[in-house]
Amino acid sequence: MLRLAQLQDALAENPMESTIERFLATHAAPLVDNEGVTFLYRDGSAKEVHLRHEIMGLESRQEFLRVAGTSLHYLPMQVPPTARIEYRLEVRDDTGTRTFVDPLNPIRSDCPYGEKSVVTAHGYTRPGFVRERADVRRGTIETVRMLSAVFAEERVLRVYLPARYRSDRAYPLLIVHDGSDYLRYAKLATVLDNLMHDREIEDFVVALTDSPRRLTEYKVDPRQGDFLTNEILPLLQERYALRDDAASRCLMGASYGALTSLHTFSRFPRTYGKVFSQSGSFIHADVRRRTIHEVDPERLEDDEPILRFVSSFSRQARSEPAKLYLSCGRFESLIFFNRSLLDVLRREGYEHHFRESYDGHNWTCWRNGLKDGFRYLFPGDVLLYYP
C-alpha cells in the first residue's frame, strides 16, 4: 500500500502525533491507491478497533493494527479496483464497546438501514446517469389512492409518467416494489428522466407500490400478486394509455421485492413477461443441486415458503416468452443463490442477463445497476440503431 508506506516512513523518522496530523491534513482517509484501501482511526484510549463490514468471504470483524507509541490504528485491505464498501467502526475502550461511523471519513451511505461510512476503490466511478441535468425534461409523478379488497385497507400508489407521455399512444408498464425507497435512495425518477431523454431506453409508465408489511407480503404471499394483477393493473389500464400484452409488462424489486416479483411473474405467465431482479432473496435453495443451504433451523422454518417457491420455480416449465434481468453484489451472501438460479433460466430457455458488481446489499448498488437493466429490458432508439 503506497500511501500507507509513506505514512509509515514519516512516522519512522518522526513518531509524533504532529506527524500524523500533517499527513491527514493532505491525505483523505481511508487511504486509497492502486493496491487497495487502508482504514485509519485515531484514539489513544482504544484497546481494540475493528472494521465491521458485509463483504462475503471475509470475517465480518477485521482487527486494526496500531502504530506503537501513537494513537493511530490502521487496517490495510486489498480490494477489487471497482469496489464500493459500506462499513462502521467498532471500538473497545475502558468504558465499553461502541460502533459508529468513521470520524475521519465524511462520506456516508444514503439508506434506510442506519448510517454507514463509504469508501470506494481507485477504479470506482459514480455513474453520471444518477445526476439531475438542466437540459432534461422531467417526468411527472401522480399519486393514486385506492381501497384494496385483497388487503382490506387503503393503499397509496405513485405513477411516473414520462416527459413525452401522450394519451393517444400506448406504453409499456413497469411495476416497482418498494417504490418510495427507489425514488428516494435509488434516484429512480432522475435515472428514468435521463435515460429516456437520451433515448437509451424507451418511454414507459412506472407504477410505484409500497407495502406496510413487506416482510410478510413480499415473502411469496399470493395476496401480493393478486393485489397487483387484479386491483392495481385494472386501475392503471383504466387511467393510463398502456399496452395490453404480457411482453410489455415488467415486475421489479430488490431483495424481497425481487422475490415477490419473480413469484408473481411465475403465477401469472400470461400477464407479465419481464422481471428486473436486484439482489433477489432466493435464499436457502441451491436449485442447481436441489439442496438446502446450511442455515439455522429456526430461520429455515420461517423461510420455508421461499424455499418451496424457489424449488418449484426450478421445475416449472413456461410456455410464454419471458425476459429477465438479474443483478447482485459480489459482497453479499445472496450472490450464491442468485447464481444458482441462472442454470434454471438457461435450462428453461429464458432470455436473461445477469450482472455482478463489487458492492453489497444496499440501495447505491441497486441504483448503479438501473441503467444496464433498463437498457436490456426496455431498449431505446439509440440502442436499436446504434448497439
Mean pLDDT on 340-354: 88
| CB neighbourhood size of 260 (10 A) | 28
Q: Which residues, including other chains, have CB under 8 Å from residue 164's CB and lie 6 or more apart?
A: 137, 196, 203
Q: Is the peptide bond before 30 cis (omega within 30 degrees of 0)?
A: yes
The residue among 163, 172, 317, 304 whose CA lies nearest residue 247 is 172
User: pLDDT tens, 91-107?
Assistant: 999 999 999 999 999 99
User: pLDDT tens, 251-285?
Assistant: 999 999 999 999 999 999 999 999 999 999 987 55
128-385 under CATH 3.40.1440.10, yes or no: no
Give the integer Cα–Cα distance in Å for 190 and 206: 13
CB-based contact 316:266 (threshold 8 Å): yes
2-120 under CATH 2.60.40.10, yes or no: yes
Q: Quick one: pLDDT at residue 317?
A: 64
Q: Quick one: pLDDT at residue 284?
A: 57
In the structure grid, which three cell numbers stand for residue 77, read together? 485491505
Mean pLDDT on 47-57: 92
pLDDT score of 292 more than 80:
no
Q: Which of 8-22, 142-156, 217-231, 346-360 has the lowest mean pLDDT?
A: 8-22
- pLDDT band for 236, please (50, 70, 90 cuts): very high
Q: φ and ψ at 270, to 5 degrees?
A: -90, 0
Give the integer Cα–Cα distance in Å for 52 and 63: 9
Tell me what percent of the residues of the chain surpass a pLDDT of 70.
Answer: 91
Q: Quick one: pLDDT at residue 191?
A: 99
Domain regions of the chain by residue span: 2-120, 128-385
CB-based contact 100:108 (threshold 8 Å): no
User: pLDDT tens, 303-323?
Assistant: 778 888 887 776 666 777 899
Cα distances (angstroms) measured from residue 278 to each of 65, 210, 221, 234, 363:
36, 16, 19, 26, 10
pLDDT score of 371 more than 90:
yes
| CB neighbourhood size of 177 (10 A) | 27
Q: Which residues, including other chains, have CB under 8 Å from residue 259's CB and lie 6 or more apart?
A: 218, 219, 220, 253, 280, 281, 282, 306
Q: Which of 16-25, 210-219, 303-312, 321-330 has the lowest mean pLDDT?
A: 303-312
Give the integer Cα–Cα distance in Å for 240 and 227: 18
In the structure grid, which three cell numbers stand for residue 30, read together? 481511508
Q: Quick one: pLDDT at residue 194?
A: 98
Strands 61-63 and 72-77: unpaired
One-letter amino acid of 282:
F
The residue among 321, 323, 320, 318 whose CA lies nearest residue 373 is 323
Helices marked H in 155-232 — which ranges? 179-185, 188-197, 214-217, 222-227
Give the integer Cα–Cα distance in Å for 30 and 263: 42
Q: In which region does residue 256 sit, left (phi positive, over 0), alpha (psi from -120 to 50) or beta (all else)?
A: alpha
Quickly count helices (H) and strands (E) in the chain: 14, 19
Q: Among 16-20, 43-47, 194-198, name the most confident range.
A: 194-198
Q: Assess whether the region 2-120 and the region 128-385 belong to the same CATH fold.
A: no
Q: Quick one: pLDDT at residue 387?
A: 46
State the DSSP H helix or E strand holding residue 33, giving kind and residue range, or none if neither.
strand 31-33
Q: What is the mean pLDDT of the chain?
A: 90
Q: Is the pTM of this model over 0.75?
A: yes
Give the integer Cα–Cα distance in Å for 177 and 252: 6
Q: Quick one: pLDDT at residue 346?
A: 86
- pLDDT band for 112, please (50, 70, 90 cuts): confident
Cα distances (angstroms) measured from residue 373 to each of 96, 132, 266, 369:
46, 20, 20, 6
Q: Quick one: pLDDT at residue 288?
A: 47
pLDDT score of 302 more than 70:
no
- pLDDT band for 188, please (50, 70, 90 cuts): very high
pLDDT score of 291 more than 60:
no
User: pLDDT tens, 155-183?
Assistant: 999 999 999 999 999 999 999 999 999 99
Give the integer Cα–Cα distance in Å for 361 and 55: 10
